[in-house]
Chains A and B, each alone.
Chain A
Amino acid sequence: MIAHHPSIDMLLDYATGSLPTGTRLVVASHAAFCADCRQQISRFEAVGGAMLDGIEPIPVRERVFHTVMAAIDNLPAPQAEQPASDLAKVLPFPLRRYVDSASRWRSAGLGIDEIELKLGSNQHRASLLRIRAGRAMAMHRHQGLEYTVVLAGSFNDGGARYDAGDLCLGAGPQHMPVADGGQDCICLTVLDAPIVLTGRWGRLLNPLLRWQHRRALTAA
């Protein structure tokens, strides 16, 4: 049962196409699990459709018609679908294109594995995180916003439970998600600023995290 949804504003921004890549993936991943939000997005898109219908048309040059008719005759044959890797199979459709057969979990320490997603945008940093069953992610707080969508398993954060499809919004207050569902928890995490570890040992890692985040943003 999905209990934690994106805000209605976020769904509208998704439908109008105004979300940047990172948060768009957050909404799309949630919606892959959530029929209610899919329906809400469809309603907003229906408004977009009606507005497109009612827009004052601007004639196109006739050349465009011939270009399009020629193009549809010369479309490359559709490429055979690559068989999905084992990793891709557990991901909702919108995320599958961001991983390939070379994507490998790398240890981020403390029982957490990570695969960084190449967004081609420097506004956000997106990763898949795997928290091993029973382990906790280091206590941290955020300088910016963190969006986490549970893709498999579940976690508990300060008494709130997040199951597959749930969106967890982290901002400001310290939190420490624990994968308590008896299985590994896999999440999509999108960050718009590096996290700050606040535990005793975690603090020592902060310079490293900031460096990683900077590097990730410049590489993107």
Chain B
Amino acid sequence: MAARFRVVSAGLSGLAANPMAVIARQGGQLLETNDTPLRQDDRYSDLIEAVAHRRDRVAFAELFHHFAPRLKAFGMRSGAEADVAEEMAQEALISVWRRAETFDRSRAAASTWVFTIARNKRIDMIRRTSKPKLDAEDFMLINPGGGSAAADSSAIANQSHEQIRELLAHLPAEQKLVLEKAFFEDKTHNVIAEELKLPLGTVKSRIRLALSRLRVALQGVES
């Protein structure tokens, strides 16, 4: 544990020298430039840990600039207006700050962890009630995967993350469409079938086909 922390700190001192390097400003809008994809998620994991360990605002700002535009797009794909989608992105990022300690890079890639936060925010915003926030409902919390969060399992999590991205990019359009409806538009199998005017069985088999193409990569994701 101590060794892992040292490695993380060393990685970040290099980062602090030029913290805003990845952020470009254009016309008052914030944009970010691309890192090399393979190291990307590793970097965001480092940043989340920097927030967890040191409440590092510079690291958080970089997380914001990477994730906020994606979270806004995610919200708008769910059918939200731009304003509401920005509010959702805002709430999700505040949760990233508050809950950074619960991030475990050996269990999930950074973007997967952020996805689960955004998903729960979306559920909360749809429910619009004072009922318990999903934030604290994560069953993973009481059942943390056993013991050693070894650095190499983090490498595997990130490697399979990149594999999943790569495979997703090459899915046939019809399979990609059902996955997008499921993940971005939070549609159940039944609703997707209705919308696409397809038999439920066809929707299920497209989802299964898509997921089985991802299976090899997914088997690297250990809980």
Contacts and interface: CB of A to CB of B under 8 A. Distances in A.
| 4 A-B pairs closest in CB distance | A49-B112, A57-B69, A120-B131, A97-B132
A24 B77 CA distance: 22
A59 B66 CA distance: 10
Contact of A54 (B122, B169, B218): B169
Interface of B: 28-32, 40-41, 57, 60-61, 64-65, 68-74, 76-77, 82, 85-86, 89-90, 93-94, 97-98, 107-116, 118-120, 122-123, 127, 129-132, 136-143, 160-161, 164-165, 168-169, 179-180, 182-184, 186-189, 191, 204, 207, 211, 214, 218-219, 221-223
Interface centre among A29, A32, A118 (most CB of B within 10 A): A32
A113 to B, nearest CB: 23
Contacts of A50: 109, 111-112, 161, 164-165, 168
Given A12-B182, A49-B115, A55-B70, A42 B108 contact: yes
B70 A59 contact: no
Given A54-B165, A94-B137, A38 B183 contact: no
A57 B73 contact: yes
A158 B118 CA distance: 42
Given A60-B68, A98-B132, A45 B74 contact: no
A52 B68 contact: no
Interface stretch (A64-72, A131-139, A179-187): A64-72
A58 interface: yes
Contacts of A52: 70-71, 74, 111, 114-115, 118
A21 to B, nearest CB: 7
A46 B30 contact: no
A17 B123 contact: yes
A85 B84 CA distance: 37
A48 B65 CA distance: 19
Contacts, number: 199
Contacts of B64: 65, 68-69
Contacts of A29: 139
Interface string A14-49: 001111010010001101100100110111111111
B89 A60 contact: yes
Nearest to B186: A18
Given A9-B204, A119-B131, A49 B188 contact: no
A59 B69 contact: yes
19 contacts: A12-B211, A16-B186, A17-B119, A31-B139, A35-B223, A39-B222, A48-B115, A49-B114, A51-B115, A51-B168, A51-B180, A51-B183, A54-B165, A55-B77, A60-B86, A62-B30, A65-B30, A68-B90, A121-B127
Contact of B182 (A18, A31, A98): A18
Given A55-B184, A94-B137, A46 B109 contact: yes
B116 A56 contact: no
A13 interface: yes
A56 B70 CA distance: 7
Given A49-B113, A52-B114, A53-B161, 17 more contacts: A16-B186, A16-B187, A19-B188, A24-B123, A28-B139, A39-B221, A47-B179, A47-B214, A49-B112, A53-B40, A53-B111, A56-B73, A58-B69, A64-B86, A68-B90, A97-B136, A118-B131
A121 B143 CA distance: 27
B108 A46 contact: yes
A6 interface: no
Contacts of A9: 189, 204
Contacts of B219: 43
A75 interface: yes
Contacts of A65: 30, 61, 64-65, 68
A92 interface: yes
B61 to A, nearest CB: 7
